[in-house]
């Protein structure tokens, strides 16, 4: 049976995050009682609207008004762009927080200050302090999480908060923040049951973030530019379109970004070409804000990006054989991840480990990309809303994937990991993708307990054996 979003939830609600709950298996468990209570709020589902979160912030003394904030929206790329912005501003000498979602291994990853996740006891204490208020207002889990993050940022005297929207924009909790600038990365089909059936309808929801006199930095494709421009004019939000104001290309030692009044040389290559586009959007934003005296980035962006850490974004975690994880979970992102994987030089076989949620669609165009790989192992994620073995069998048929034998579909992530760890030579490469929750489970069963443990990539032969039994 397919998952039906919204069934059994309060009116106006939609099913919450698949990886948040009180009785899930690791790595999807709460680490303490306070966080367990926070996770329990996910039973209320996603509840679009600003009334509850604004009431909560008012009761807390409006911590959002003490912060300079950049808000990033988009179907794909908003998490990496948020992290890039925060990293650049930190290198400029500011105390910077990044609020992103979802997390991979620990919920505290969602709020980092100067690149470090907030301490678990600090996080738990703030949750406990807000519990009665959240219950009184019947706030959702993400609304409560947003308020917790804003309180911590205020108390820690953060200079700038870079915040990723949770879902959409117009009715997302982050729209309660008085942003210095709004950034929009991409728009494609995802969460259609909430945001709309077409790209234009989804874009309209994201454009609901625009505010008067708040600059708007936009990287949508040409087909959506007119709609974005018209909305920006109507909102009184000065628009800056990436493809009109920036050019970039690879060089021998990295890549070069050409902006209206500046050329940035020697930028380090990132794990995937799409990440250069996200970095270009972030750099365009900071360049324009600096030019107007609003907010300044680092003097040397190339040096600043040298140690950029983007977990789960085409991230190499082991070498020889190469193990790569990517959180792509919709057709647009999967196409980019698979194209990047296929373009990467690999002497041996390419293997894709694939899993995802029932309410995510995969278009037929993904089939030819998967067929170019040497093996595709599909596997359920250890979550109730995961595609089951039967779902995956139907998906294989839809994508016209050949029957690859006993390992074409496996019962569990640990079983799949154990199989490939036994059967790959050092010249092979594995890409685990299809869902951030699959990436989370892969990292967990390979023995990682904290994202910091995943950098830099280590030789696979000497890596921790984890729980796979391989």
pLDDT at residue 407, rounded to an integer = 65
Rounded to an integer, what distance in angstroms lies between the CA atom of residue 422 and that of residue 450?
Answer: 25
Per-chain mean pLDDT for the chain:
93
Asked if the structure places residue 2 within a domain, the reply is no
pTM above 0.85, yes or no: yes
Same domain? 261 vs 153? yes
Lowest-confidence region among 2-6, 268-272, 292-296, 415-419 = 2-6
What is the signed CA dihedral for 363, 358, 141, 206, rounded to 10 degrees?
20
pLDDT (tens digit per residue) in 134-184: 999 999 999 999 999 999 999 999 999 999 998 888 888 999 999 999 999
Asked if the structure places residue 24 within a domain, the reply is no
Q: Are 403 and 375 in contact (CB under 8 A)?
A: no
The parent domain of residue 354 ranges over: 315-462
Rounded to an integer, what distance in angstroms lies between the CA atom of residue 96 and that of residue 70?
Answer: 11
In the beta sheet, which residues pair with residue 323?
Answer: 318, 430
Average pLDDT, integer, range 68-95: 97
Same domain? 257 vs 403? no
pLDDT at residue 2, rounded to an integer = 34
pLDDT at residue 464, rounded to an integer = 52
Residue 436 has phi, psi (to 5 degrees) of: -65, -25
Asked if the structure places residue 453 within a domain, the reply is yes
pLDDT (tens digit per residue) in 82-107: 999 999 999 999 999 999 999 999 99
Average pLDDT, integer, range 446-456: 94
Residue ranges with strand state E in 74-154: 96-99, 111-113, 116-117
Among residues 307, 335, 359, which one ends one of the domains? 307
Helix (H) or strand (E) holding 386: none
Among residues 252, 281, 307, which one ends one of the domains? 307
pLDDT(7) > 60: no
What's 409's DSSP letter? B
Rounded to an integer, what distance in angstroms lies between the CA atom of residue 141 and that of residue 107?
Answer: 12
Query: Total domain count for the chain?
Result: 2
Average pLDDT, integer, range 443-451: 96
Helix/strand number for the chain, H first, E second: 16, 17
pLDDT at residue 167, rounded to an integer = 84
pLDDT (tens digit per residue) in 299-334: 999 999 999 999 999 999 999 999 999 999 999 999
Same domain? 277 vs 332? no
Among residues 274, 307, 340, which one ends one of the domains? 307
| Cis preceding linkage at 27, omega within 30 | yes
Residue 318 has phi, psi (to 5 degrees) of: -135, 155
Lowest-confidence region among 12-16, 70-74, 356-360, 364-368 = 12-16
What's 48's DSSP letter? -
């Amino acid at each position: 049976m397919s998952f039906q979003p919204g069934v059994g939830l309060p009116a106006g609600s939609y099913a919450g995050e698949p990886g948040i709950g009180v009785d899930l298996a690791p790595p999807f468990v709460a680490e303490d009682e306070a966080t367990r209570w926070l996770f329990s709020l996910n039973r209320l589902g996603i509840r679009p609207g600003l009334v509850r979160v604004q009431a909560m912030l008012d009761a807390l003394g409006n911590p959002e008004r003490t912060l300079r904030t950049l808000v990033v929206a988009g179907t794909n790329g908003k998490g990496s762009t948020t992290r890039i912005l925060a990293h650049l501003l930190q290198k400029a000498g500011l105390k910077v927080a990044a609020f992103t979602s979802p997390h991979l291994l620990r919920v505290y990853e969602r709020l980092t200050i100067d690149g470090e996740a907030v301490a678990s006891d600090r996080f738990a204490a703030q949750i406990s302090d807000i519990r009665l208020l959240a219950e009184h207002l019947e706030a959702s889990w993400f609304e409560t999480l947003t308020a917790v993050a804003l309180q911590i940022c205020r108390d820690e005297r953060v200079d700038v908060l870079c915040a990723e929207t949770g879902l959409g924009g117009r009715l997302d909790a982050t729209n309660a923040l008085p942003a210095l600038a709004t950034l929009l990365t991409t728009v494609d089909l995802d969460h259609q049951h909430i945001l709309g059936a077409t790209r234009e309808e989804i874009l309209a929801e994201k454009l609901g973030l625009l505010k008067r006199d708040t600059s708007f930095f936009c990287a949508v494709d040409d087909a959506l530019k007119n709609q974005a421009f018209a909305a920006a004019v109507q909102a009184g939000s000065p628009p800056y379109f990436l493809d009109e104001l920036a050019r970039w290309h690879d060089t021998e030692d990295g890549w070069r970004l050409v902006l209206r009044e500046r050329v940035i040389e020697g930028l380090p290559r990132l794990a995937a070409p799409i990440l250069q586009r996200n970095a270009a959007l972030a750099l365009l934003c900071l360049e324009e804000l600096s030019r107007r005296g609003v907010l300044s980035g680092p003097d040397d962006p190339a040096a600043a990006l040298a140690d950029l850490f983007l977990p789960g974004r085409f991230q190499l975690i082991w070498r020889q054989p190469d193990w790569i994880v990517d959180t792509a979970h919709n057709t647009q992102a999967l196409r980019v991840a698979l194209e990047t994987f296929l373009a990467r030089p690999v002497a041996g076989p390419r293997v894709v480990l694939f899993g995802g949620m029932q309410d995510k669609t995969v278009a037929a165009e993904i089939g030819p990309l998967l067929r170019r790989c040497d093996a595709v192992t599909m596997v359920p994620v250890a979550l109730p809303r995961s595609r089951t073995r039967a779902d995956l069998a139907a998906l294989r048929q839809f994508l016209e994937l050949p029957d690859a034998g006993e390992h074409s579909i496996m019962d569990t992530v640990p079983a799949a990991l154990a199989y490939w760890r036994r059967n790959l030579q050092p010249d092979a490469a594995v890409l685990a993708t299809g869902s951030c929750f699959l990436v989370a489970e892969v990292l967990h069963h390979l023995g990682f307990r904290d994202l910091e443990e995943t950098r830099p990539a280590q030789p696979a032969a000497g890596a921790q054996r984890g729980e796979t039994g391989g």
